[in-house]
Chain A
């Protein structure tokens, strides 16, 4: 299969180089437009924060090599093509298909099993289609990659559970509470680390969000981002009495909620369990307050520990996922070759059909009065049989070539058939 992928990823380059060589939506469009006119093949450009990859394919002219692609890249960005080359990897044919399937299935991602890459591959294909760079080969390849990515995500445990700290915090909260529309979320502090967690908690649509901070301006700023109300830091006890979920991210050097304070608060609380996500370092809540019933307290270490467990769980499914990829690569290749042979076989059939009809027509004119309807049918049947038997050999040989991939990846028999029978697209 005439397919090649050039790329660089977090495995081969530093983030600095990826930032310089990555494509933004506008530069991606520009690159695709140029590729359309300069590279003379099908092109899909996959550019994410972790990788930049050019997928090149097509049945016609030879595909660009390291040098041509480096020069092309150098024409878009002011970088020396020779500087890029050492960081580039290249896969061809079978390996290129396998690479794409692994990439879209997130087996080659920084966070194994992450879900964004499949969507990014889809966007890359759509951009290539819009620019007219994607042809039949890359269209078929990327669509197949999408299907296999979905299968791997659903049929293996590779994408099981969340692995980001903020999502894990929400997972812990969801282990305690059924519904959130009657819950109060309290945010203590305004640490950057808490922003994403707060965003996830706000997505649960709690009844109210209360924000407190030693600095009222910072509290106000946080409250504005999540539609919360500001509570003065002096009223921390009252805030804890009213809250079901607490997100704490202060920069305090000592715990702000110790046992004495918690006992004071608990005596006045009329609510059930309180879930505390304490992602501050040093910790804001005394760790011994966790009892799994009145208070479920999770600090950054707890979240990290679960994260590592989840990642290890995902890794244990890697073997199954890789086997699925290998199987699908074979299936795609066979399918692609069948599609490739299809038009040639159809053309061959059509031409023989036309010739048979012409010869039989002439013969029937000559034998006009000498043969009856039954004999006519027998003669036509004999010619049809001859045609089928004649074509059976070449078509079977083509099918065999489809299943047995030649080491060079070339399809000499198909080309030979085209030339022998003068079949032109």
Chain B
């Protein structure tokens, strides 16, 4: 099990993505000769994605990376998205979910590789699977933020799909041509629902984090900490997005662009604490998830 590396599952996901891209290349002369080939490619893509997911699971199980460090956080987030992609590929093979999700998963694994695991002096940090040394509030904080990130990432994909679908419709692309996506109405509904689910999760996660921060005020730089500021900014923008969703009547594309913006802000919030030198201990961890 210890031989399973980041490369193993990243390569499987990349191969799956490659096969999916080939399968959707309708004008490939090979497909004229063997019309069943795209089906085989899609099947192969699913098998590779599933194999990647198994390797990914084994990696997480073996190394149990801490979600208090970006490395673990990104890998766990990537795992959820990969699992969602495998599930959707099996159930709605016609929609090109994996074409959107797998690049994101690969990006997250790549980012985790760049950031790397925590240094030895941080080795004692709590991890995802043995959280015995974390109190209830820390756990709740981590789980809520992780859930919000998963939902927001799917909303981001849904928004990208919406924008591409709107583009297809604007250019009057023949039905069935190009990327296979949900209907414009379906994507707008999905986006609205996901935003409505992600915001309470994020709010609750941040609320718990603020509570923890007040309880351990001495360990943090207070409100000047970039990750605290970033998280606050994210929450505010998200709040505006939710206001638009329920309040005024906005075009779907405006909603979609804002969702994309919120997701990019989430990525910044994840990476920023790692790149900027901040507080002595909490600087390299996720917003709010603290060492006990």
Contacts and interface: CB of A to CB of B under 8 A. Distances in A.
A277 interface: no
A177 interface: yes
Contacts of A306: 172, 174-175
A161 B183 CA distance: 17
B175 A175 contact: yes
B183 A155 contact: no
Interface stretch (A11-19, A137-145, A288-296, A387-395): A288-296
Interface residues on B, range: 20 to 34
Contacts of B252: 272, 293
B32 A320 contact: yes
Interface in A311-333: 316-317, 319-320
A272 B183 contact: no
Contact of A309 (B33, B169, B174): B174
A273 B168 CA distance: 14
A177 B185 contact: yes
A306 B188 CA distance: 26
B169 A272 contact: no
Interface string A161-192: 10000001001101111110000000000000
Given A292-B169, A293-B166, A293-B252, A317 B32 contact: yes
Interface string A69-85: 00000000000000000
Contacts of B183: 174-178
A158 B188 CA distance: 34
A293 B171 CA distance: 11
A298 B173 CA distance: 11
Contacts of B167: 292
Interface centre among B168, B185, B186 (most CB of A within 10 A): B185
B3 interface: no
A326 B85 CA distance: 42
B175 A157 contact: no
Contact of A296 (B32, B169, B253): B169
Interface residues of A, number: 33
Contact of B35 (A178, A305, A320): A320
B32 A310 contact: no
A292 B32 contact: no
Given A175-B184, A272-B188, A273-B184, A316 B32 contact: yes
Contacts of B174: 161, 306, 309-310
B185 A156 contact: no
A317 B27 CA distance: 11
Interface in B13-41: 32-33, 35-36
B175 A172 contact: yes
Contacts of A179: 185
A160 B176 contact: yes
A317 B189 CA distance: 37
A174 B175 contact: yes
B170 A292 contact: yes
Contacts of A178: 182-183, 185-186, 189
A302 interface: yes
B32 A176 contact: no
Nearest to B170: A292
A270 interface: yes
A258 B174 CA distance: 25
Nearest to A308: B174
A272 B185 contact: yes
Given A174-B183, A273-B185, A293-B170, A155 B36 contact: yes
A140 B251 CA distance: 60
A319 B175 contact: no
A172 B177 CA distance: 12
B35 A156 contact: yes
B251 A161 contact: no
B249 interface: yes
B176 A294 contact: no
Contacts of A320: 32-33, 35
Interface string A126-165: 0000000000000000000000000000011100110000
A168 B171 CA distance: 16
B5 to A, nearest CB: 41
Interface centre among A273, A290, A309, A319 (most CB of B within 10 A): A273
B184 A317 contact: no
Interface in B235-273: 249, 251-253
Contact of A293 (B32, B33, B184, B189): B184
Nearest to A298: B172
Nearest to B165: A175
Given A160-B176, A317-B35, A291 B170 contact: yes
Interface string B189-203: 100000000000000
Contact of A175 (B33, B169, B189): B169
A176 B188 CA distance: 10
A261 to B, nearest CB: 20
A302 B171 CA distance: 10
A293 B35 contact: no
A161 B177 CA distance: 10
Contacts of B169: 175-176, 292-293, 296
B238 to A, nearest CB: 23
Interface of B: 32-33, 35-36, 165-172, 174-177, 182-186, 188-189, 249, 251-253
Interface of A: 155-157, 160-161, 168, 171-172, 174-179, 270, 272-273, 290-294, 296, 298, 302, 305-306, 309-310, 316-317, 319-320
25 contacts: A155-B36, A160-B176, A172-B175, A175-B168, A175-B175, A176-B185, A177-B183, A177-B185, A178-B185, A178-B186, A178-B189, A272-B185, A272-B252, A273-B184, A290-B172, A292-B166, A292-B168, A292-B171, A293-B166, A293-B170, A293-B184, A298-B172, A306-B175, A317-B32, A320-B35
Nearest 9 CB-CB pairings of A with B: A292-B170, A292-B169, A171-B175, A306-B174, A178-B186, A176-B184, A178-B183, A177-B185, A178-B185
